[in-house]
Chains A and B, each alone.
Chain A
Amino acid sequence: MENEQVLLEVKGLRKFFPIRKGFWQRAVGHVRAVDGIDFHVYKGETFGIVGESGCGKTTASRCIVRALQPTAGEIHFRVNDGEMTDVANLSRDELQPLRRHMQMIFQDPFSSLNPRMTLFDIIGEPLLVNGVADRRQRIERVEELLALVGLRPEFLQRFPHAFSGGQRQRIGIARALALNPSLIVADEPVSALDVSVQAQILNLLLELQERLGLTYLFVAHDLSVVKHICDRVAVMYVGRVVETAQTQQLFESPKHPYTEALLSAVPQPDPTLRSQRIILEGEVADPANPPSGCYFHPRCRYAVDLCREQTPELEEVEPGHAVSCHRALELDLAGTLDAPIPQTAHS
């Protein structure tokens, strides 16, 4: 990704939710859902955010599209190849012209579509809101979008309940594409789908990226999917980025003990690869009451005294590979290449 233009840069992003108690609903503490994350996304790439449930992936992505107001931090976004603008603190009115450039796709194609609207209304709504008043023009554009995502134009007047999960996800994608956005934020877009449908949607996303030059921020918990679709990846743990690198690099030579454990836990569709898994002890820390020092230390098999006392910073260990671990440089961790070479698929 050398010489590439940065489309999105996130600096020190934080989102805390108050924990309220009692009759007066006084805030008695905070859930540190996103606790200071930094990353940047190049134009035309797919940047993955991966991590286990509750680690803050959705909160982070909702802050970036400003569906949530961040507690702190900067979100620089480049519009039409121009200057970068910090959208973190823009008012509603200031944001309005920028919103069309960032669109979101959701996990649950079932609940994210209004059952009382036809495909024309669903996909054409963003056009209408953005001033495409002419109905004929909207019909044309919606038909074009349907074709783009592999749905038949005759579907225009149908309601979403008549469609399967994969088709509904296509509808959601068509709607997101209506205004020619440059950034698509996709939150677990294939998690609710069956394997065979998942493959179709992943292929569609790859194809659309190539044709339209889209940039994806791709949020997922499935590491195989992330490996398949992302150019670079950030691994989150309890509201923080613990490691970020090129996909291949991250999978082959992870530098953070949490990444190592995560990779080792993924069950492989190949019984010859049944191997020793790293079974993590205990549970993910509570973001309302995180441990001292390195948040991962209670579960880390490499933890030393320093880890309990001092929070490691996210630092570059080699170009493009940043890790937040006191021992990143001395540890020799296992990646996916250390597993036996898988059998080649049948003819």
Chain B
Amino acid sequence: MQDDRQPILSVRNLKTSFFTDEGIVRAVDGASFDVHLGQTLGIVGESGCGKSVTALSILGIVPRPGRIVEGEILLRREPEDGQAHEIALTSLGDSSREMRSIRGAEIALVFQEPMTSLSPVHTIGNQIIGAARLHRNLTRREAGELAVELLSLVGIPRAEAAIDAYPFQLSGGLRQRALIALALSCEPRILIADEPTTALDVTTQAQILDLLRSLQEQNGMAIMLITHDMGVIAEMADQVVVMYLGRVVEEGPVETVFGESKHPYTQSLLRSIPSIHSTPKVQLPTITGTIPHPYNRPAGCPFHPRCPDVIPGVCDKHEPELHSVGDEHLVSCFLYHPVPETIS
């Protein structure tokens, strides 16, 4: 199962914008990263930084007035003849037959709020049966057996009875499990989980994260885990992408990003989190200011108005790009790469 070092999904310089009456919101503004089978890629950042829009872009379901304006999303396939090839999802129409068959079947999505992604008027069982039969050649009976199997796999007690339950009859934790079962019904190779545990309590969160980990061990799927919680990332991810205002500011193996973070934003963010190991009642180091409004993006480095290390005349004029600063470790900051030689 474990693939070679070839990524199953590559996102290259993705830019997705919303063209609203008030102006253009550059929700994702040049994001690049790779997703590998058997691994978990964590995407982390504060609210509004573009995590969810990145997920929607990959699935080709960006709502109007938004659209992908630049970049490539490549899905790698290995057909029977062993000859791997890449297909550019960005060149398929969002509602094309091929894109529809990829969505759900090869790439599945689990959302933060399972209540809105599960249909309230169908039983859990029927939703799984419907999804499984849409993408796989199964009889109703086989799909029914699969539904029971999946529901018990995700740890729903008395699965035979649970297939007849409606979503509102389940607790938040069980609904999230049901949604994961639904996502797994087509055996996706990539599971995108957008804040899958944010609405849950810590002990339930621990159950769901444990579930995702063991499912990945069993079926070797790639997980793209989106969260604002640095703790969840540290717990789950192999590779980490840190986003700020639509851009990737730092990227690398989880130990590197947490242990030797280089970008001033990552560093400040990590310092500002209270920990159960921290000393009580001392002032936390904070990041000055607030995240700018998306219509008023700062010029140059998007973090420069809040950056403690800002280089005046440079950071407010030029846009830094991702550069390698070590083994698989990328940072987008002028402290680590030369300033473009342009006369302004």
- Give residues in A with beta carbon < 8 Å to B: 46, 52-53, 164, 166-167, 194-200, 202-203, 206-207, 221, 223-225, 227-231, 247-248, 251, 261-274, 277-280, 282-284, 336, 339, 342-343, 345-346
Contact = CB atoms under 8 A, between A and B. Distances in A.
Contacts of B157: 282
Interface stretch (B185-193, B262-270, B327-335): B262-270
B232 A267 contact: yes
Interface in B265-293: 267-278, 280-281, 283-287, 290-291
Interface in B209-232: 209-210, 228-232
Interface in B114-141: none
A224 B273 contact: yes
Given A251-B276, A271-B259, A346-B260, 4 more contacts: A195-B230, A271-B234, A284-B201, A342-B275
B270 A228 contact: no
A228 B235 contact: no
A232 B81 CA distance: 65
Interface residues of B, number: 52
Given A274-B234, A280-B203, A345-B271, A196 B287 contact: yes
A320 to B, nearest CB: 15
A206 B281 CA distance: 7
Nearest to B287: A196
A269 B230 CA distance: 5
Contact of A336 (B47, B205, B207, B276): B276
B280 to A, nearest CB: 5
A231 B279 CA distance: 11
B286 A228 contact: no
B336 interface: no
A265 B203 contact: yes
Contacts of A221: 201-202
Contacts of A195: 46, 228, 230, 269, 272-273
Given A202-B274, A221-B201, A224-B273, A247 B231 contact: no
Contacts of B172: 53
Contact of A228 (B233, B254, B259, B284): B284
A52 B276 contact: no
Contact of A194 (B47, B207, B210, B284): B47
B280 A269 contact: no
Contact of B203 (A200, A228, A261): A261
B255 interface: yes
Contacts of B47: 194
26 contacts: A46-B281, A52-B202, A52-B203, A194-B46, A194-B291, A195-B230, A196-B268, A199-B284, A199-B285, A202-B284, A221-B202, A227-B274, A227-B278, A228-B274, A228-B280, A231-B280, A265-B206, A266-B231, A266-B276, A267-B229, A269-B230, A269-B234, A269-B270, A283-B174, A342-B275, A345-B271
